[in-house]
Amino acid sequence: MALAAPEVLTFEALEGGDWDALIVIGPNFSELDSDYQAAIQNAKMFDASVGETLSVLSCEVAPGNRLLLAPTGPLDRDYDDVRRFYDAAREAVARVAASGAKKPALMVTAVPTGALWNKALASAYFGFNQGNYESLEAREHHGDDVEPFATVGVVGNVDPSFVKSIEAGRRVARDICGTEPERMSPKRAAEYCQEAFAGTSVSVQVIDDRMQLEHEYPLLCAVARASFEVEKQLPAVVRLEFEGEGPIEESIFLVGKGITYDTGGADLKTGGHMAGMSRDKGGAAAVAGFVKALAGLNPKGVKVVAELAFVRNNIDNFAFVADEIITGRSGVRVRIGNTDAEGRLVMADPLAKLTEEAVSATNPSLYTIATLTGHAALAKGPYAALVPNKPAMSKGYVQRILDAGESWGDGVELSPSRREDFDFIRGRTKADDVLSSNNGPSATTVRGHQFPMAFLVAVAGLDKHGQNSDTPLPYTHIDIAGSGVEGGNWQHGKPSASPVIALAGAFLDK
């Protein structure tokens, strides 16, 4: 069950309805009314940690007589940001559920002044939903009631339509990313997308005919070569299209990596490194999540085209291998360096296709999103890495995402593309144009998360649309290998839906 639209309340309205708990989040609770202060002081007489740690108090004026204090900790340090409210709300979910509450309300207090704190309440709402979320498999097995709460009241100034739409998108992203590989195989991922966008203004096309796939996406089909013999593991490209009312003012093209399971292929993952590789579809999940958020808002003047590349990187007698030279959709000849560097291959042809379409679009920008490299996780920790070309920098697209990430609490960081990245992927012989990868782990490769962007630029034909070309196309590669799941735990961590909030804040917050 997705959380219903947050019901926006005034503080006085808490006395009505059937709200049965009030969760208050802030660095301190000195701004609360005197009746609440009295309850806090009384509780402190028996427990000095009240107000310093997560606490449930009996309070006669609170809905349901339950007052839950969720302290953020101090917010005046250089490194504090709005995510403190997200984290506190996330952690409060289990405690308020254990108290027996069924319909809590949420508010923030003592919020610092300044633009970077304006989204504190919205961030708390997103954090609450993150804590409340249970996986698709759990909901299908136990029923929707496995999630503690069906709705939450929000006390304060927040746009309920906007945050509900974003949260609906985050839910789609978490479902696709986190679901095990049989339940979310390529075919079933496509079916999930069809269900998720049914009745919306987003059109869904599933491309799963082998002949068409081999013609339009030859690099993707190389990765899928060992999957074609297994019906339930056949690859599929899901194309999502949205066109808002009125004259189009902005066109957004996105490609998502959807590796439903990554064995590594012929360069097999060993030593226990295969566990968690069902989450290697987090990029496609994030793209679908962003489009789902957009579907709830129906912005005017915006066109969005997305392609989700759902493929299983299998190994058998038909598997592609290192040293092969495969010609991509663009005509670029790719020498395979390592079959475990499959994500850039499945995205390259869809990106080439969307590049062709973007040339004639109004104010276009292009994005690839992927759980691509261990290097990104090491270099950026829990933040998404943005690797842009010069048009994306000069036209302000990257700054929009950076600013939105800070404002909305979905942090991203910049990793500029450099000449060394293009040198790295250059062809080594007259038989090939580019090299897909070296044959070592990305985490121990210099510029391991930046050079794949250069590969994608070269193979998609974006090198013909740079800053000094007649048709410059802004393009940004987004590596979410570090931000895609909580705590970097790819087998058990809850999917984070990164960077859905940042993208929605950048492109949908009008």
- pLDDT tens digits, 82-127: 999 999 999 999 999 999 999 999 999 999 999 999 999 999 999 9
Q: Going by C-beta distance under 8 Å and a sequence separation of 6 or more, which residues neighbour residue 231?
A: none
Q: Residues with catalytic annotation?
A: 269, 344
The number of CA neighbours under 13 Å toward the Cβ of 505 is 25
Average pLDDT score over residue span 341-358: 98
Q: Which CATH number fits domain 166-507: 3.40.50.920, 3.30.420.40, 3.30.450.40, 3.40.630.10?
A: 3.40.630.10
Return mean pLDDT, the chain: 96
Exposed / middle / buried, residue 403 (Cβ in 10 Å: 0-12, 13-18, 19+): middle
For residue 86, the SS3 value is helix
**Cβ within 8 Å of residue 358, ≥6 positions away:** 251, 253, 364, 366, 473
Average pLDDT over residues 16-34: 93
pLDDT of residue 1 exceeding 50, the answer is no
Q: pLDDT at residue 207 above 90?
A: yes
Tell me what pLDDT residue 506 has: 98
DSSP 377-430: HHHHTTSEEEEE-HHHHHTTHHHHHHHHHHHHT--EEE----HHHHHHTB-SST
CA 286 to chain centre: 4
Residue 325 has a CB neighbour count (10 Å cut-off) of 13
Helix (H, G, I), strand (E, B) or coil at 501: helix
Helix or strand holding residue 259 (H, E): strand 250-262
pLDDT of the residue at 52 = 94
Cα 133 to its chain centre, rounded Å, is 15
Tell me, what's the pLDDT at 50? 95
Strands 153-155 and 104-108 come out as parallel
Side-chain-side CA neighbours of residue 310 (13 Å): 32
Residue 196 has pLDDT above 60, yes or no: yes
**166-507: same fold as 7-158?**
no
Question: What mean pLDDT do residues 336-340 have?
Answer: 97
Q: What are phi and psi of 41, to 5 degrees?
A: -65, -40
- At residue 394, φ and ψ (nearest 5 deg) are -70, -30
pLDDT category, 35, cuts 50, 70, 90? very high
In the predicted structure, residue 362 carries a pLDDT above the cut 50:
yes
Mean pLDDT for 395-423 is 98
Q: How many beta carbons lie within 10 A of that of residue 350, not counting itself?
A: 28
Q: Which residues contact 396 (CB under 8 A, 6 or more apart)?
A: none
Residue from 2, 409, 396 nearest 173 by CA: 2
Q: What is the mean pLDDT of residues 204-210?
A: 98
CA 216 and chain centroid, separation? 26
Instruction: Considering only CA atoms, give the Rg of the chain.
Output: 24
pLDDT confidence band for 442 (50 / 70 / 90):
confident
- Enumerate residues 6+ apart whose C-beta is below 8 A from 431: 325, 333, 335
State the average pLDDT over residues 25-45. 95
Beginning with the edge strand found earlier in the chain, give each strand of the sheet holding 325-327 in spatial order. Answer: 325-327, 333-335, 434-435
Region of 225 (left: φ > 0; alpha: ψ -120 to 50; beta: rest) is alpha
pLDDT tens digits, 373-385: 999 999 999 999 9
Domain coordinates of the chain in residue numbers? 7-158, 166-507
Q: Smallest Cα–Cα separation from 309: which of 357, 359, 370, 263?
A: 370
The pLDDT value given to residue 4: 52
- Measured between its terminal Cα atoms, the distance across the chain in Å is 28
pLDDT at 188 over 80: yes
The CATH number of the domain covering residues in 7-158: 3.40.220.10
**Average pLDDT, stretch 173-191?**
98
| Matching residue, tokens 């739409």 | 165
